[in-house]
Amino acid sequence: MLWQTGDTDTSDLGIAGHYAIPERDLTQAMREADLVVAHAGVGTALAALEVGKCPLLVPRRLSLREHVDDHQIQVARELGDRGLCVSVEADDLGYEDLLVAAGSRVTVVAEPPAFVTSGM
């Protein structure tokens, strides 16, 4: 298990947390992982998707003073609606969520659908 924890004090959690992990190492760890669990930051979500993982995303919230706004809720909802992640609130996270995410994969399509805008 690999924990990137930032400046969160993990001394009482019994884990070996890392403040930061170089992008190359983190990407390789995600590639090799059975499951990627992360906050719903765009960069983290995209990194997991790029290596074929369907991440389990737990959005950080403004109301808990975890972030400056609630954009992570929007990111997790949009990716979840598209079947590209499992999105769950921290208090609701359960074993079934882990199994669903670990058993799911995403694939890159050879030719993505055309991007179409509606006329205004």
Q: For residue 57, what is the domain's CATH number?
A: 3.40.50.2000
Token digits of residue 91? 């208090």
What is the CB neighbour count within 10 angstroms for residue 54?
22
Q: Within a domain: residue 113?
A: no
Q: Within a domain: residue 3?
A: no
Q: Within its chain, how far is the Cα of 90 from the centroid?
A: 13
Q: Within a domain: residue 66?
A: yes
Q: Within a domain: residue 67?
A: yes
Q: Within a domain: residue 38?
A: yes
Question: Which pLDDT score is estimated for 115?
Answer: 80
Question: Which pLDDT score is estimated for 109?
Answer: 78
d(Cα 23, Cα 81) in Å, to the nearest integer?
Answer: 27
Check if the beta carbon of residue 95 is closer than 8 Å to that of residue 78: no
Q: Within a domain: residue 120?
A: no
Q: Within a domain: residue 49?
A: yes
Question: Which pLDDT score is estimated for 65?
Answer: 65
- Note the pTM of the prediction, 2 decimals: 0.82
Structural domain range at position 86: 23-102
Instruction: For the chain, list residues with pLDDT below 50.
Output: none
Q: Within a domain: residue 55?
A: yes
d(Cα 80, Cα 74) in Å, to the nearest integer?
Answer: 10
Contacts of 58 (CB under 8 A, 6+ apart): 37, 38, 39, 40, 76, 87, 88, 89, 90, 93
Question: Which pLDDT score is estimated for 17?
Answer: 92
Number of domains composing the chain: 1
